[in-house]
Amino acid sequence: MRLAEAWRVALDALRANRLRSALTMLGVIIGVGAVVVLVAIGTGAKNEVEAQVEGLGSNLMLVVPGRLEFGSAPSASRLSLRDADAVAEVVGDPRRVTATVASGETVRAGGRERFTTVQGVLATTPEVFDRPVGRGRYFTESDVRTGRRVAVLGATVARALFPDRDPIGQQVTVAGVRFRVSGLFAPLGQSLGVDRDDEIHIPISAAQRLLGVDRVDGLAIKAPDREHIDDLRARVVAELSQRHPDTEFSAVTQEQILGVLGDILGVLTGVLAAIAGISLLVGGVGVSNIMLVSVRERTREIGLRKAVGARPRDIGLQFLLEAVLLTTVGGVLGMGLGVGSSLLVGALSPVPASITWWSLALAFGVSAAVGIVFGVAPAQRAGRLDPVVALRSE
Partner 1 sequence: MTGPAVEAERVARTYRLEGFSVRALREVSLTVERGDYVAIVGPSGSGKSTLMHLLGGLDRPTSGRLRLDGRDVAGLSPAELARLRNEVIGFVFQAFHLLPRTSAVENVALPLVYRGLGARKRRAAAAEMLERVGLGHRLTHRPNQMSGGEQQRVAIARALVTGPSVLLADEPTGNLDSATGESVLHLLETLNAESGVAVVLVTHDRDVAARARRQIAMRDGRVASDSAQTDQEPSGGTP
Binding residue for partner 1 (CB under 8 A) from 130, 314, 346, 354?
Answer: 314
How far apart CA 380 and CA 6 sit, in angstroms, is 15
Contact indicator for 364, 274 with CB cutoff of 8 Å: no
How far apart CA 177 and CA 158 sit, in angstroms, is 18
Closest CA to 187 of 248, 134, 225: 134
Q: CB under 8 A: which stretch of 67-75, 242-250, 309-317, 337-345 binds partner 1?
A: 309-317
Shortest spacing between CB 34 and partner 1, in angstroms: 35
Residues 6+ apart with CB under 8 A from 106: 113, 114, 115, 116, 174, 175
- Count of residues that bind partner 1 according to CB under 8 A: 23
- Asked if 309 touches partner 1 (CB under 8 A), the answer is yes
Shortest spacing between CB 311 and partner 1, in angstroms: 4
- Asked if 292 touches partner 1 (CB under 8 A), the answer is no
Closest CA to 99 of 75, 73, 119, 117: 119
Residue 368's region, left for phi above 0, alpha for psi from -120 to 50, else beta, is: alpha
- Report the residue number, 3 or 73, with the smaller CB distance to partner 1: 3
Torsion of CA 235, 240, 243, 247, to 10 degrees: -130
Backbone phi, then psi, for 178, in 5-degree steps?
A: -80, 140
- Asked if 10 touches partner 1 (CB under 8 A), the answer is no
Contact indicator for 251, 233 with CB cutoff of 8 Å: yes
Beta bridge partners of 219: 63, 99
First vs last Cα of the chain: how many Å apart? 26
Shortest spacing between CB 313 and partner 1, in angstroms: 7
Binding residue for partner 1 (CB under 8 A) from 194, 308, 347, 348?
Answer: 308
Binding residue for partner 1 (CB under 8 A) from 37, 305, 352, 364?
Answer: 305
- Report the residue number, 6 or 207, with the smaller CB distance to partner 1: 6
Binding residue for partner 1 (CB under 8 A) from 137, 292, 301, 380?
Answer: 301
Instruction: Summarize the chain as % helix, strand, coil (round to 5).
Output: 60, 20, 25
Beta bridge partners of 97: 221
- Report the residue number, 135 or 296, with the smaller CB distance to partner 1: 296
- Report the residue number, 222 or 305, with the smaller CB distance to partner 1: 305
- Asked if 297 touches partner 1 (CB under 8 A), the answer is no
Give the length of the chain.
394
Shortest spacing between CB 45 and partner 1, in angstroms: 50
Binding residue for partner 1 (CB under 8 A) from 304, 332, 362, 369?
Answer: 304
Binding residue for partner 1 (CB under 8 A) from 34, 153, 291, 310?
Answer: 310
Number of C-beta neighbours around residue 306 at 10 A: 21
- Report the residue number, 228 or 300, with the smaller CB distance to partner 1: 300
Shortest spacing between CB 378 and partner 1, in angstroms: 18
- Asked if 296 touches partner 1 (CB under 8 A), the answer is no
Contact indicator for 112, 161 with CB cutoff of 8 Å: yes
Closest CA to 151 of 111, 110, 190, 121: 121
The distance from CA 329 to its chain's CA centroid, rounded to whole angstroms, is 30
- What Cα–Cα distance (Å) separates residue 209 from each residue in 177, 204, 297, 326, 362? 10, 9, 85, 71, 58
- Report the residue number, 167 or 383, with the smaller CB distance to partner 1: 383
- Report the residue number, 111 or 309, with the smaller CB distance to partner 1: 309
- Asked if 293 touches partner 1 (CB under 8 A), the answer is no
How far apart CA 73 and CA 161 sit, in angstroms, is 34
- Asked if 67 touches partner 1 (CB under 8 A), the answer is no
Q: CB under 8 A: which stretch of 41-49, 176-184, 254-262, 385-393 binds partner 1?
A: 385-393
Q: CB under 8 A: which stretch of 216-224, 264-272, 312-320, 345-353 binds partner 1?
A: 312-320
Q: CB under 8 A: which stretch of 22-30, 210-218, 306-314, 321-329 binds partner 1?
A: 306-314
Q: Which of residues 16-55 bind partner 1 (CB under 8 A)?
A: 16
Q: Which residues bind partner 1 (CB under 8 A)?
A: 1-2, 5, 12, 16, 300-301, 303-314, 386-388, 391
